[in-house]
Amino acid sequence: MLKVVIVGCTGRMGHALLEGIFADSELALHAALDRADSPQLGKDAGEQCGKTTSVKITSDVNAINGADVLIDFTRPEASLQYLAACEAAGVKMVIGTTGFTPEQKARIAQASQNLGIVFAPNMSVGVTLLTNLVQAAAKVLKQGYDIEVIEAHHRHKVDAPSGTALRLGEAAAAGAGRDFEKVALYAREGITGERDPDTIGFATVRGGDIVGDHTVLFAGTGERIELTHKASSRATFAVGALRAAKFLAGKQRGLYDMQDVLELK
Ligand code: NAD
């Protein structure tokens, strides 16, 4: 059995991951961590899923010792602390957290020289496939079609555009043969002037309990192509993250994404 640690275990994704672990006979919950000021510390980690387990929610990072994989859906600063702990303890890591700066991403890449890491802003199988489809479409539609990425999420999301939207933008840029950093346009306001055909624009919607919608629009003359994914439950991300954890069982070191996990490369 693969021994798995969940950090951020009382969060929205933490809950979905615990449900997924309890439903999978190949996975065992080794430890469940959350913030030092969480009111849930000391409670049975299974309680929120109606289960009784021997694992109590803790903030003690030593609890990860002896585990195979740690799954992190928290906040970037917390993820980097767990990354250091995983390096010290030799525990592989699945990172689903979003909102990292380029420097923080470089730190993750550096750690992967000695540690197996799956790092993906969206762990759903559908979005992973969508990323491939967007890259293929952009290759064909790179001239005469304006590329825009539109995303919608629930009111509690703290980063924008979503990590998935950025990943889709990168895929579109790669397909169109453009440098993403140079062409990404994150917001428009006021007298913007006409659209630069090379840009890849982003539009963000926040509201209610939307789990996550993403559309990549290719707007040409006389036609539009829209590639859309809509997540209706966090279970889809949890299923992907647990699949990533199993994938890492066979990897000593290296940085992988969901394309690797799903063998889409
Ligand atoms: P959430 O706010 O519901 O949960 C975050 C959890 O992390 C909370 O339990 C919080 O207490 C905990 N946390 C924060 N700092 C911590 C620390 N220092 N130590 C331990 N725990 C800490 O958020 P969420 O909706 O579950 O999303 C979490 C992250 O995952 C976000 O970055 C979100 O964008 C990302 N996300 C990624 C995917 C994906 O497929 N990759 C899918 C959904 C959400």
- Which of 5, 6, 7, 12 should be mutated for ligand 1, with most atoms under 8 A from CB? 12
Q: In this predicted model, what pLDDT tens digit does every residue of 25-64 receive, in sequence order?
A: 999 999 999 999 999 999 999 999 999 999 999 999 999 9
For residue 39, give the amino acid letter. Answer: P
What ligand 1 atom has the least distance to the C-alpha of 15? 26
The b-or-e profile of 51-78 (16+ CB within 10 A means b, else e) is: eebebbbbeebebbeebbbbbbbbbbeb
> What pLDDT is stored for residue 112 in this prediction?
98
pLDDT tier, 113 (very low <50, low <70, confident <90, very high otherwise):
very high
Total-model pTM = 0.90
Among all chains, which residue has been given the structure tokens 């306001």? 189
Rounded mean pLDDT of 72-97?
A: 98
- Which of 73, 101, 154, 258 should be mutated for ligand 1, with most atoms under 8 A from CB? 73
Q: 100 in ligand 1 pocket by Cβ < 6 Å?
A: no
Q: In this predicted model, what pLDDT tens digit does every residue of 13-34 receive, in sequence order?
A: 999 999 999 999 999 999 999 9
Query: Helices 235-248 and 125-140 meet at what angle, rounded to 10?
Result: 90
pLDDT tier, 264 (very low <50, low <70, confident <90, very high otherwise):
confident
Task: Give the active site residues.
Answer: 153, 157
For residue 221, give Cα distances in angstroms to 155, 188, 225.
Answer: 35, 22, 11
Cβ neighbour number for residue 25 with a 10 Å cutoff: 7
**Which contiguous run of DSSP H or E holds residue 24?**
none
> What pLDDT is stored for residue 98 in this prediction?
93
**Which contiguous run of DSSP H or E holds residue 116?**
strand 116-119
> What pLDDT is stored for residue 250 in this prediction?
87
Residue-averaged pLDDT of the chain: 97
> What pLDDT is stored for residue 209 in this prediction?
97
